[in-house]
Amino acid sequence: MQTTFPKLLLEHAARRPQAPALREKEYGIWQALSWADLAKLVEHMACGMHQLGLQRGQHMVVIGANRPRLYAAMLAAQSLGAIPVPLYQDAVAAECVFPITNAEVQLALVEDQEQVDKLLEIRDQCPLLQRLIYDDPRGLRSYDAPGLVGLDQMIEQGAAWAAKHPGFFKEQVDLGQTGDVAAMFFTSGTTGNPKGVVHTHSTLMDRAQAGAEFDRLSEREEVLAYLPPAWIGQNIFSYAQWLVCGYVVNCPENAGTVSIDLKEVGPTYYFAPPRVFEGMLTSVTIRMEDAGSLKRSMFKSFMALAKRVGPQRMDGKALSLGDRLLYALGDLLIYGPLRNTLGFSRVRVAYTAGEAIGPDLFTFYRSIGINLKQLYGSTETAVFVCLQPDHEARADTVGVPIRGVEIKVAENGEILVKSAGLLKGYYKNPKATEEVLTADGWYHTSDAGFIDAHGHLKIIDRVKDVGRIKGGPNDGAMFAPKYVENKLKFFPFIKEVVAFGDGRDMVCVMINIDFDAVGNWAERRNLPYAGYTDLAGKAEVYELIRECVEQVNADLAADALLAGSQISRFLVLHKELDADDGELTRTNKVRRGFIGEKYQPLVDALYSGKQEQYIETAVKFEDGRSGSVSATLKLGDVKTFQAVKAAA
């Protein structure tokens, strides 16, 4: 596709000027922005940015939630040949220093006062940052920091410039080439400073187009953009594919209204990490447990039917007349209302990615008629590498290579990918680029896996994390921490897990409970608690989690390859793992090494056989204050099982 994102914008504006491009919910009312109006807004923004000194090839930081004017700002920057760099809006100020200095950012565009305060706090550490543009003026009336400009003022000045120079914007857009850098996305930085992943218009568009072809996406789709724009997954779905397909992107009013907005929009194309789908199911489960006995009984009966025949129905397999009639009745009474309650009444394609999804969770959504599928990709591959065909969706694979993708498996089990969507490189980091990109164009994913007999890709773990048990009865057994962690996270009571075992004589885990699910479980048993730490420390909760761990051990015993990864000891952490405390990345991935160091006394206690251990942990509160949380944690052994030998 020999074009750029701004050129696609102008094509849509010329071909379907009055069709809605973006919608935003303000004060409870959805406001639409047409393609023609969006093009005019982008022109005025681009002219305003030009007056503020933004030059071709420069980087411009964008920080905020999904907002039409922030999307327009990225298009405006690209129109001038500049490069938007979205950063996570929930990142603390210190986390923004490296990306801003590394990218030599001179102009930043942010959403509101919170983000302005954040950048003003670190301005002394970012000497090149000259201009700071804000969208929402609330709370900023008395600010007089140098270079601080309201977006409305910039647009007004840009409109005046455009009137005097009517050909300027189009000339700038025409200068853009498909091979120009379109955006830069910073990785999570799990093992050090984040790396700036450089993508061109060509790489992003190629993958966006390939994904659109795979699922037959059109301009008729509706999308809800609610995940961080700094995450390339959201950026591909609500920016690259939006401009390639021309569908409508809907922006929620705020994070608290997403579930309501989801029902109102009724998206046809939906994307969420497993954590979101887990939260939805937990909410459904809690509501049904609080319902009357008749409704609970009916729900249980029809869900048993759905679990039995629903996935077959989604896979296009033939059902008996009786099952078809019963499912139709269930659809009328249970499944249809449930899809409507979740906001999935119109969903044609739903994807999940980022982490493994539990088989039961995956089956639940497909059984009630939601076409939930998995995909595989990363920031470096512009997301779309493998996707699941409509009738071949399985919980234990991540799909088949799509158009333009080649996959091979190295001798050490690492997945290597070649496609037109690969990163141009890591910004100012040629050494890191050489480590992941071979001379003949193969990208090292760092994921271990294999292609199964049906041509589907299966992921086991990160290559560097796959280890071996040393000593004890399972000496030499393979240890895949992520695999173990994900099996535990399939339980609704468990939110996060950190597994240890490489180079040790047994596997031990630290567990975060899901506060909502366990809290509801406790309330139904009249078990009082005074907060997360108190609930996590209850003996009853400890036994509940022990049962989950032992179920996982029973499952692992049946896996000849990973039977030696059964868990010997565990504990329930006294606090939730938090990105603000450095324990998770901004995409909610566990920083296992950091946690192992931070909680070294707990790791030592697990492996020394202690039954309890006191711990005091520094934490950061939402209002920026620091404090500490302490508790004496119970540590215990769990039952392991004899490995089941494969049949000869």
Give the length of the chain: 648
Query: What is the per-residue pLDDT for 625?
Result: 78
Torsional class of 53: left (φ above 0), alpha (ψ -120 to 50), beta (otherwise): left
If we measure between CA atoms, which residue out of 582, 559, 583 comes closest to residue 644? 559
Q: Which fold has domain 5-200+226-252?
A: Rossmann fold (3.40.50)
Between CA 153 and CA 134 the distance in angstroms is: 10
* Enclosing H/E stretch for 181: strand 181-186
pLDDT tens across 370-391, in order?
999 999 999 999 999 999 999 9
Cα 127 to chain centroid distance, Å, stands at 32
Q: Is the pLDDT of residue 225 over 50?
A: yes
pLDDT-derived band at 648, boundaries 50, 70, 90: very low
Torsional class of 454: left (φ above 0), alpha (ψ -120 to 50), beta (otherwise): alpha
* CATH architecture group of domain 274-463: 3-Layer(aba) Sandwich (3.40)
- The domain covering 466-637 belongs, at the CATH homologous superfamily level, to ANL, C-terminal domain (3.30.300.30)
pLDDT-derived band at 18, boundaries 50, 70, 90: very high
Strand-by-strand arrangement of the 131-134 sheet: 83-87, 59-63, 107-110, 131-134, 148-150
φ/ψ of 365, rounded to 5, equals -70, -40
Kindly report the average pLDDT of the chain as a whole number: 93
Between CA 641 and CA 261 the distance in angstroms is: 47
pLDDT tens across 255-285, in order?
889 999 999 999 999 999 888 898 888 888 8
pLDDT tens across 395-430, in order?
889 999 999 999 999 988 899 999 999 999 999 999
If we measure between CA atoms, which residue out of 349, 373, 345 comes closest to residue 215? 349
> Pairing between strand 181-186 and 196-200?
antiparallel
Q: What is the mean pLDDT of residues 559-572?
A: 89
pLDDT tens across 576-624, in order?
999 888 898 877 788 888 999 999 999 999 999 999 999 999 888 766 6
Assign 3-class secondary structure to 478-546: EECHHHHHHHHHCCCCEEEEEEECCCCCCEEEEEEECHHHHHHHHHHCCCCCCCHHHHHCCHHHHHHHH
Torsional class of 231: left (φ above 0), alpha (ψ -120 to 50), beta (otherwise): beta
Could you tell me if 416 and 407 are in contact, meaning their C-beta atoms sit under 8 angstroms apart? yes
Could you tell me if 511 and 572 are in contact, meaning their C-beta atoms sit under 8 angstroms apart? yes
Domains 5-200+226-252 and 274-463 equal at CATH topology level: yes
Could you tell me if 351 and 270 are in contact, meaning their C-beta atoms sit under 8 angstroms apart? yes
The domain segmentation of the chain, as residue ranges, is: 5-200+226-252, 274-463, 466-637
pLDDT-derived band at 466, boundaries 50, 70, 90: confident
**String of DSSP letters for 212-248:** HHHTT--TT-EEE--S-TTSHHHHIIIIIHHHHH--E
Cα radius of gyration rounded to whole Å, the chain: 26
Between CA 37 and CA 526 the distance in angstroms is: 57
Between CA 270 and CA 365 the distance in angstroms is: 13
Between CA 198 and CA 182 the distance in angstroms is: 8
Between CA 61 and CA 91 the distance in angstroms is: 13
The strand pairing partners of 186, in sequence order, are 196
φ/ψ of 111, rounded to 5, equals -80, -45
Residues 6 or more apart in contact with residue 437 via CB below 8 angstroms: 422, 423, 425, 443, 444
Query: What is the per-residue pLDDT for 7?
Result: 98
More confident residue, 106 or 555: 106
Between CA 539 and CA 495 the distance in angstroms is: 18
Query: What is the per-residue pLDDT for 47?
Result: 98
pLDDT tens across 429-446, in order?
999 999 999 999 999 999
Between CA 391 and CA 313 the distance in angstroms is: 9
If we measure between CA atoms, which residue out of 347, 429, 353, 358 comes closest to residue 99? 429
Q: Is 173 helix (H, G, I), strand (E, B) or coil?
A: helix
Between CA 221 and CA 219 the distance in angstroms is: 6
Neighbours of 281 (CB within 10 A): 18
Q: What is the DSSP-derived secondary structure letter of residue 563? A: G
Q: What is the mean pLDDT of residues 545-557?
A: 94
Could you tell me if 490 and 525 are in contact, meaning their C-beta atoms sit under 8 angstroms apart? no
**String of DSSP letters for 95-158:** HHHHHHHHTT--EEEESSHHHHHHHHHTGGG-TT--EEEES--TT-TT---TTEEEHHHHHHHH
Could you tell me if 590 and 577 are in contact, meaning their C-beta atoms sit under 8 angstroms apart? yes
The strand pairing partners of 149, in sequence order, are 133
Q: What is the mean pLDDT of residues 482-499?
A: 89
More confident residue, 241 or 643: 241
Q: Is the pLDDT of residue 336 over 50?
A: yes
Mean pLDDT highest for which of 286-290, 337-341, 627-631? Answer: 337-341
Query: What is the per-residue pLDDT for 623?
Result: 66
Could you tell me if 366 and 372 are in contact, meaning their C-beta atoms sit under 8 angstroms apart? yes
By the 10 Å C-beta count (0-12 exposed, 13-18 middle, 19+ buried), 537 is classed as middle
Q: Which pairs count as long-range contacts for 526-529, CB under 8 Å and 24+ apart, including other chains? A: none
For the record, the structure tokens of 370 come out as 């939601």
Dihedral of CA 14/17/23/26: which sign?
positive
By the 10 Å C-beta count (0-12 exposed, 13-18 middle, 19+ buried), 97 is classed as middle
pLDDT tens across 42-67, in order?
999 999 999 999 999 999 999 999 99
Query: What is the per-residue pLDDT for 358?
Result: 75
